[in-house]
Structure 1
Amino acid sequence: MNCYCGNNKTYNECCEIFHINHGITATAEQLMRSRYSAFVLANGDYLMATHHTSTRPIKEKKAIVKWAKSVQWIRLEIIESSKGSKEDNEGTVTFNAYFFENGKVDVINEKSAFVKENNCWFYIGLSK
Protein backbone atom coordinates (compact mmCIF):
# COMPACT_ATOMS: atom_id res chain seq x y z
CA MET A 1 0.00 0.00 0.00
CA ASN A 2 1.26 3.48 -0.86
CA CYS A 3 1.93 6.07 1.81
CA TYR A 4 -0.99 8.26 2.86
CA CYS A 5 0.78 11.25 1.26
CA GLY A 6 0.50 9.70 -2.21
CA ASN A 7 4.12 8.64 -2.73
CA ASN A 8 4.73 5.19 -4.20
CA LYS A 9 6.60 4.11 -1.08
CA THR A 10 4.93 2.48 1.90
CA TYR A 11 4.17 4.56 4.98
CA ASN A 12 7.07 2.82 6.79
CA GLU A 13 9.48 3.83 4.00
CA CYS A 14 8.08 7.36 3.66
CA CYS A 15 6.29 9.55 6.21
CA GLU A 16 6.79 7.29 9.22
CA ILE A 17 10.51 8.12 9.07
CA PHE A 18 9.69 11.83 9.49
CA HIS A 19 7.12 11.09 12.19
CA ILE A 20 9.80 9.22 14.15
CA ASN A 21 12.59 11.78 13.60
CA HIS A 22 10.39 14.74 14.68
CA GLY A 23 9.92 16.25 11.22
CA ILE A 24 13.48 16.47 9.99
CA THR A 25 12.90 16.62 6.25
CA ALA A 26 15.09 17.73 3.36
CA THR A 27 12.40 19.81 1.66
CA ALA A 28 9.26 21.79 2.43
CA GLU A 29 7.23 19.42 0.25
CA GLN A 30 8.40 16.42 2.29
CA LEU A 31 7.25 18.22 5.43
CA MET A 32 3.89 19.04 3.77
CA ARG A 33 3.40 15.40 2.80
CA SER A 34 4.36 14.18 6.28
CA ARG A 35 1.95 16.66 7.87
CA TYR A 36 -0.87 15.37 5.64
CA SER A 37 -0.08 11.82 6.80
CA ALA A 38 -0.13 13.11 10.38
CA PHE A 39 -3.64 14.47 9.77
CA VAL A 40 -4.70 11.07 8.40
CA LEU A 41 -3.32 9.44 11.56
CA ALA A 42 -4.58 12.25 13.86
CA ASN A 43 -1.01 12.69 15.14
CA GLY A 44 -1.45 15.97 16.98
CA ASP A 45 1.99 15.88 18.58
CA TYR A 46 3.65 15.81 15.16
CA LEU A 47 1.39 18.54 13.79
CA MET A 48 2.30 20.80 16.71
CA ALA A 49 6.03 19.98 16.59
CA THR A 50 6.26 20.81 12.87
CA HIS A 51 4.22 24.01 13.15
CA HIS A 52 6.49 27.03 13.66
CA THR A 53 6.41 28.39 17.21
CA SER A 54 5.35 31.85 15.97
CA THR A 55 2.05 30.49 14.62
CA ARG A 56 1.62 27.18 16.49
CA PRO A 57 -2.02 26.71 17.62
CA ILE A 58 -1.32 24.84 20.87
CA LYS A 59 -4.75 25.66 22.31
CA GLU A 60 -6.42 24.16 19.24
CA LYS A 61 -4.55 20.85 19.32
CA LYS A 62 -7.42 18.81 20.79
CA ALA A 63 -9.91 20.29 18.32
CA ILE A 64 -7.57 19.62 15.39
CA VAL A 65 -7.09 15.99 16.44
CA LYS A 66 -10.83 15.52 17.01
CA TRP A 67 -11.62 16.91 13.55
CA ALA A 68 -8.85 14.86 11.87
CA LYS A 69 -10.36 11.71 13.37
CA SER A 70 -13.90 12.69 12.36
CA VAL A 71 -13.26 12.80 8.61
CA GLN A 72 -12.20 10.12 6.15
CA TRP A 73 -9.09 11.25 4.31
CA ILE A 74 -9.09 10.44 0.61
CA ARG A 75 -5.89 11.78 -0.95
CA LEU A 76 -3.34 14.54 -1.19
CA GLU A 77 -2.65 16.30 -4.47
CA ILE A 78 0.43 18.52 -4.70
CA ILE A 79 -0.23 21.24 -7.26
CA GLU A 80 2.96 23.26 -7.03
CA SER A 81 6.09 23.68 -4.91
CA SER A 82 8.06 26.90 -5.01
CA LYS A 83 11.51 27.02 -3.45
CA GLY A 84 11.60 24.81 -0.36
CA SER A 85 14.60 22.78 -1.54
CA LYS A 86 17.58 21.67 0.54
CA GLU A 87 19.35 24.94 -0.35
CA ASP A 88 16.41 27.25 0.48
CA ASN A 89 15.31 28.73 3.80
CA GLU A 90 11.69 29.30 2.78
CA GLY A 91 9.20 27.82 0.39
CA THR A 92 5.57 27.29 -0.47
CA VAL A 93 3.53 24.23 -1.36
CA THR A 94 0.11 24.49 -3.00
CA PHE A 95 -2.07 21.44 -2.49
CA ASN A 96 -5.53 19.93 -2.40
CA ALA A 97 -6.38 17.60 0.48
CA TYR A 98 -9.55 15.61 -0.24
CA PHE A 99 -11.68 14.18 2.55
CA PHE A 100 -15.15 12.77 3.17
CA GLU A 101 -17.26 14.51 5.82
CA ASN A 102 -20.98 14.59 6.58
CA GLY A 103 -21.83 12.44 3.57
CA LYS A 104 -19.92 14.44 0.96
CA VAL A 105 -16.46 14.90 -0.46
CA ASP A 106 -14.78 18.17 0.43
CA VAL A 107 -11.36 19.64 -0.29
CA ILE A 108 -8.88 21.88 1.46
CA ASN A 109 -7.08 24.01 -1.13
CA GLU A 110 -4.15 25.81 0.40
CA LYS A 111 -0.89 27.50 -0.49
CA SER A 112 1.20 26.80 2.61
CA ALA A 113 4.28 28.73 3.67
CA PHE A 114 7.31 26.99 5.18
CA VAL A 115 10.51 28.25 6.77
CA LYS A 116 13.74 26.45 7.59
CA GLU A 117 15.43 27.17 10.91
CA ASN A 118 18.45 25.32 12.29
CA ASN A 119 18.30 23.06 9.23
CA CYS A 120 14.71 21.99 10.03
CA TRP A 121 11.57 22.86 8.04
CA PHE A 122 8.46 24.24 9.79
CA TYR A 123 4.95 25.02 8.60
CA ILE A 124 4.15 28.74 9.07
CA GLY A 125 0.58 28.92 7.74
CA LEU A 126 -1.15 30.25 4.67
CA SER A 127 1.11 31.93 2.16
CA LYS A 128 0.34 35.56 1.44
Structure 2
Amino acid sequence: MISDTDACPCRSGKTFGECCGPFLSGAALPPTAEALMRSRYTAFATHNADYLEETLLPGTREDFDRDAALEWAKSSLWTGLEVRHSEAGGERDEDGVVEFVAHFQADNQDRVHHETATFRKQDGRWWYVDGIMGARPRKVEKIGRNDPCSCGSGKKYKKCCGQAA
Protein backbone atom coordinates (compact mmCIF):
# COMPACT_ATOMS: atom_id res chain seq x y z
CA MET A 1 0.00 0.00 0.00
CA ILE A 2 1.32 3.43 -0.90
CA SER A 3 0.95 6.36 1.47
CA ASP A 4 0.42 10.01 0.61
CA THR A 5 3.97 10.83 1.75
CA ASP A 6 5.65 8.21 -0.48
CA ALA A 7 7.21 9.28 -3.77
CA CYS A 8 4.68 9.07 -6.57
CA PRO A 9 5.28 6.02 -8.80
CA CYS A 10 5.04 8.24 -11.91
CA ARG A 11 8.36 9.82 -10.89
CA SER A 12 7.11 13.39 -11.09
CA GLY A 13 9.28 14.30 -8.11
CA LYS A 14 6.16 14.89 -5.99
CA THR A 15 4.64 12.76 -3.28
CA PHE A 16 1.75 10.47 -4.10
CA GLY A 17 -0.56 12.72 -2.08
CA GLU A 18 0.34 15.83 -4.09
CA CYS A 19 0.52 14.10 -7.47
CA CYS A 20 -1.56 11.10 -8.60
CA GLY A 21 -3.19 10.18 -5.27
CA PRO A 22 -6.08 12.66 -5.50
CA PHE A 23 -6.87 11.50 -9.04
CA LEU A 24 -6.90 7.80 -8.14
CA SER A 25 -9.08 8.44 -5.08
CA GLY A 26 -11.57 10.53 -7.07
CA ALA A 27 -10.90 13.67 -5.01
CA ALA A 28 -9.70 15.56 -8.11
CA LEU A 29 -9.58 15.27 -11.90
CA PRO A 30 -6.30 15.38 -13.84
CA PRO A 31 -6.02 18.89 -15.34
CA THR A 32 -3.96 17.84 -18.38
CA ALA A 33 -3.53 14.87 -20.70
CA GLU A 34 -0.07 14.23 -19.26
CA ALA A 35 -1.44 14.24 -15.70
CA LEU A 36 -4.03 11.65 -16.75
CA MET A 37 -1.34 9.54 -18.42
CA ARG A 38 0.85 9.72 -15.28
CA SER A 39 -2.11 8.74 -13.09
CA ARG A 40 -2.87 5.78 -15.35
CA TYR A 41 0.74 4.60 -15.00
CA THR A 42 0.36 4.96 -11.23
CA ALA A 43 -2.87 2.95 -11.42
CA PHE A 44 -0.88 0.09 -12.95
CA ALA A 45 1.79 0.45 -10.25
CA THR A 46 -0.86 0.36 -7.50
CA HIS A 47 -3.05 -2.30 -9.16
CA ASN A 48 -6.05 -0.01 -9.57
CA ALA A 49 -7.92 -1.58 -12.51
CA ASP A 50 -11.08 0.35 -11.66
CA TYR A 51 -9.30 3.65 -12.35
CA LEU A 52 -7.89 2.30 -15.63
CA GLU A 53 -11.39 1.43 -16.79
CA GLU A 54 -13.02 4.63 -15.47
CA THR A 55 -10.54 6.85 -17.36
CA LEU A 56 -11.26 5.28 -20.75
CA LEU A 57 -13.31 7.52 -23.04
CA PRO A 58 -16.96 6.48 -22.73
CA GLY A 59 -17.84 4.39 -25.77
CA THR A 60 -14.37 2.78 -25.93
CA ARG A 61 -14.63 0.53 -22.87
CA GLU A 62 -16.31 -2.49 -24.47
CA ASP A 63 -13.00 -4.22 -25.29
CA PHE A 64 -11.29 -3.39 -21.98
CA ASP A 65 -10.23 -6.62 -20.31
CA ARG A 66 -10.19 -5.68 -16.64
CA ASP A 67 -8.88 -9.08 -15.49
CA ALA A 68 -6.00 -9.03 -17.97
CA ALA A 69 -5.07 -5.46 -17.03
CA LEU A 70 -5.12 -6.34 -13.34
CA GLU A 71 -3.05 -9.47 -13.92
CA TRP A 72 -0.44 -7.49 -15.89
CA ALA A 73 -0.35 -4.83 -13.19
CA LYS A 74 0.05 -7.34 -10.36
CA SER A 75 2.58 -9.58 -12.12
CA SER A 76 4.87 -6.65 -12.92
CA LEU A 77 7.12 -4.45 -10.82
CA TRP A 78 6.64 -0.91 -12.14
CA THR A 79 10.05 0.79 -12.03
CA GLY A 80 9.60 4.17 -13.69
CA LEU A 81 7.96 6.39 -16.22
CA GLU A 82 9.62 8.50 -18.89
CA VAL A 83 7.57 11.12 -20.72
CA ARG A 84 9.20 11.59 -24.11
CA HIS A 85 6.93 14.06 -25.89
CA SER A 86 3.64 15.88 -25.40
CA GLU A 87 1.50 17.73 -27.93
CA ALA A 88 -1.32 19.96 -26.73
CA GLY A 89 -3.25 18.35 -23.87
CA GLY A 90 -3.18 21.46 -21.70
CA GLU A 91 -5.95 22.75 -19.48
CA ARG A 92 -7.53 24.71 -22.36
CA ASP A 93 -7.04 22.08 -25.08
CA GLU A 94 -9.60 19.54 -26.25
CA ASP A 95 -7.12 16.89 -27.49
CA GLY A 96 -3.65 15.81 -26.52
CA VAL A 97 -0.96 13.29 -27.36
CA VAL A 98 1.65 11.94 -24.94
CA GLU A 99 4.52 9.67 -25.93
CA PHE A 100 5.86 7.76 -22.96
CA VAL A 101 7.92 4.76 -21.92
CA ALA A 102 6.74 2.75 -18.92
CA HIS A 103 9.54 0.72 -17.35
CA PHE A 104 8.70 -2.50 -15.52
CA GLN A 105 10.03 -5.90 -14.63
CA ALA A 106 8.25 -9.12 -15.52
CA ASP A 107 9.59 -12.65 -15.18
CA ASN A 108 12.76 -11.15 -13.65
CA GLN A 109 13.50 -9.23 -16.83
CA ASP A 110 13.56 -5.48 -17.44
CA ARG A 111 10.93 -4.49 -19.97
CA VAL A 112 9.41 -1.37 -21.48
CA HIS A 113 6.02 -0.36 -22.79
CA HIS A 114 6.57 2.45 -25.34
CA GLU A 115 3.33 4.08 -26.40
CA THR A 116 2.04 7.22 -28.03
CA ALA A 117 -1.34 7.80 -26.40
CA THR A 118 -4.21 10.00 -27.53
CA PHE A 119 -6.39 11.84 -25.02
CA ARG A 120 -9.60 13.85 -25.38
CA LYS A 121 -11.25 16.36 -23.09
CA GLN A 122 -14.99 15.87 -22.95
CA ASP A 123 -17.45 17.36 -20.47
CA GLY A 124 -14.56 19.14 -18.72
CA ARG A 125 -12.63 15.92 -18.09
CA TRP A 126 -9.62 14.26 -19.76
CA TRP A 127 -10.07 10.71 -21.07
CA TYR A 128 -7.70 8.12 -22.55
CA VAL A 129 -8.80 7.39 -26.14
CA ASP A 130 -6.23 4.96 -27.54
CA GLY A 131 -2.57 4.46 -28.22
CA ILE A 132 -0.11 3.05 -30.69
CA MET A 133 3.01 1.17 -29.75
CA GLY A 134 6.17 3.22 -30.14
CA ALA A 135 6.52 6.78 -31.33
CA ARG A 136 3.95 8.35 -33.62
CA PRO A 137 5.59 9.28 -36.92
CA ARG A 138 6.32 12.98 -36.98
CA LYS A 139 5.69 14.85 -40.18
CA VAL A 140 8.81 16.39 -41.67
CA GLU A 141 8.44 18.66 -44.67
CA LYS A 142 11.25 18.78 -47.18
CA ILE A 143 12.19 22.18 -48.49
CA GLY A 144 12.90 22.36 -52.20
CA ARG A 145 15.84 24.43 -53.47
CA ASN A 146 13.47 26.97 -55.05
CA ASP A 147 11.05 27.15 -52.10
CA PRO A 148 11.09 30.17 -49.80
CA CYS A 149 13.63 29.68 -47.02
CA SER A 150 12.12 28.48 -43.77
CA CYS A 151 14.11 31.08 -41.81
CA GLY A 152 11.74 33.79 -43.05
CA SER A 153 14.32 35.84 -44.95
CA GLY A 154 12.15 35.99 -48.08
CA LYS A 155 14.97 34.51 -50.18
CA LYS A 156 14.87 31.17 -51.96
CA TYR A 157 16.25 28.32 -49.86
CA LYS A 158 19.14 27.73 -52.32
CA LYS A 159 20.25 31.38 -51.96
CA CYS A 160 19.93 31.43 -48.14
CA CYS A 161 20.22 28.58 -45.63
CA GLY A 162 20.59 25.96 -48.38
CA GLN A 163 23.86 27.36 -49.72
CA ALA A 164 26.73 24.91 -49.70
CA ALA A 165 29.47 26.08 -47.38
TM-score range, shorter chain: over 0.9
Normalised by the length of structure 1, the TM-score is 0.93
Q: Retained in 1: the 8 A contact 2:53–2:64? A: no
Q: Which has the higher contact order (CA 8 A, sep 6+)?
A: 1
Match of 2:74 in 1: 69
Deviation at 1:13, TM superposition (A): 1.4
Between 1-10 and 78-87, report the one with greater CA deviation: 1-10
Match of 1:18 in 2: 23
Corresponding residue SS for 2:50: helix
Instruction: Write out aligned runs for 1:1-128 (5 A).
Output: 1-21=6-26, 24-57=29-62, 60-126=65-131
Give, as a single letter, the amino acid of the residue that structure 1 aligns with 2:80. R
Q: Which has the higher helix share?
A: 1
The superposition leaves residues 8-60 of structure 1 with CA deviations (integer Å, 9 ceiling, x where unpaired) of 11111110111122761110000000000000011011000001122225651
Taking the aligned partners of 2:14 and 2:112, their CA distance within structure 1 comes to 24
Alignment: residue pair count: 128
Taking the aligned partners of 1:28 and 1:80, their CA distance within structure 2 comes to 12
Unpaired segments ≥5 residues, structure 2: 1-5, 137-165
Counting aligned pairs with the same residue, the percent is: 38
Unpaired segments ≥5 residues, structure 1: none
RMSD of the alignment, in Å?
1.6
Taking the aligned partners of 2:50 and 2:33, their CA distance within structure 1 comes to 19
Mark the structure with the bigger radius of gyration: 2
